[in-house]
Amino acid sequence: MNSRKRFGGLLRWLRPHVALLIVVGTGLCGLRALGAPLAVCATVGMVADLARGVGGQEVVVEGLMGPGVDPHLYKATSSDLIRLQRAEVILYGGLHLEGKMQETFQRLSRSGRRVRAVTDGLPPERLIRVGQDGIVDPHVWFDVELWSRCTEVVAEEFAAARPDSAVGFRQRAATVKQELKDLHQWVLTRVATVPKPRRILVTSHDAFGYFGKAYGFQVVALQGISTVTEAGLADMTQLTDFIRSKGVPAVFVESSVSHASLERIRQDAGVKLGGELFSDAMGTPGQRHGGYDLGTYQGMIRQNVDRIVEGLK
């Protein structure tokens, strides 16, 4: 009986202390939530890299598509959907780059999440349209100056989600934009070393149209702007004949597209392989080559330009 009384007394003493611990713990969790970085989900690596640059320490960015992944063919997995639903801001390339994810983006937008294409607001006259249907080429990041303008959309979305941090987002966006303008000038200087008659860039699929327009190259590809449709035998024969007739010294495969068809064309045309270019995906984070971090946008661009210049000049 005495032990039962002692136990009852202990419970009466514990109840208010336990309640206090619960209240304090809940408060701390709330404070952590208030001070937590903005949860961001980005589709391709180039968009994720842009988001990290603009967001700094105030965001945590999860990328959906890793090295070597083709966004034209990509379908969201169940784990991707969980990550997307967990995010406060979702950023994607747009212009139908992630063609098989459009319905997913629409559903997430209707659910109240901030979902935005970073290419929103780019000047229409700067966009490249191809084919009779006038489909817009989504590979905007290969015109570095044009891609730098996407920082404004990223900063705008982050500021709307975290108004108290708006000044910091805009300042970092301005810094990133200037860095990319400097990179644009570096590309112009680097490609100027390639004689104009040799500025013919032959690649696996038509991802380099913006690069060609911005930096003075004729771009010829085996496949169109999307990799959904495969090239046929007639396409391969036509490209082989073009390479021979123009005296193209090298062709370039891509990290996110099968090498097989272009390798066969290279052998038939009797030209060298200029190397592998990054097109729809960057390299592995931390992967270094020639002093560049290939898991970053700037490293990807510099590596591509070096390979193109060395392959063609």
pLDDT digits (tens, 9 = 90+) for 130-151: 888 889 999 999 999 999 999 9
**CATH second-level architecture of 35-186?**
3-Layer(aba) Sandwich (3.40)
**Sequence-ordered list of residues with C-beta below 8 angstroms from that of 215, at least 6 positions apart, any chain:** 187, 188, 191
Share of the chain above pLDDT 90, in %: 75
Q: Which of 150, 190, 127, 192 is nearest to 54 (CA)?
A: 150
Q: Do 90 and 108 form a contact (C-beta atoms < 8 A)?
A: yes
What one-character-per-residue DSSP string does 187-207 give? HHHHHTTS-GGG-EEEEEES-
> Mean pLDDT in the chain?
88
Q: Are strands 135-136 and 129-130 parallel, antiparallel or unpaired?
A: antiparallel
Q: How many beta carbons lie within 10 A of that of residue 110, not counting itself?
A: 9
Tell me how far CA of residue 201 lies from CA of 125, 183, 221, 284, 307, in angstroms. Answer: 23, 20, 8, 25, 11
pLDDT band of residue 67 (cuts 50, 70, 90) is very high
Q: Quick: pLDDT tens for 45-65.
A: 999 999 999 999 999 999 999
Q: What is the CATH number of domain 188-312?
A: 3.40.50.1980
Residue 99: how many CA atoms within 13 Å on its side-chain side?
A: 12
CA within 13 Å, CB half, 223: 20
Q: Do domains 35-186 and 188-312 have the same CATH topology?
A: yes
Domain boundaries, the chain: 35-186, 188-312
Sequential DSSP letters for 68-133:
T--TTT----HHHHHHHHH-SEEEE--TTTTGGGHHHHHHHHHTT-EEEETTTT--GGGS-EETTT
* More confidently predicted of 8 and 139: 139
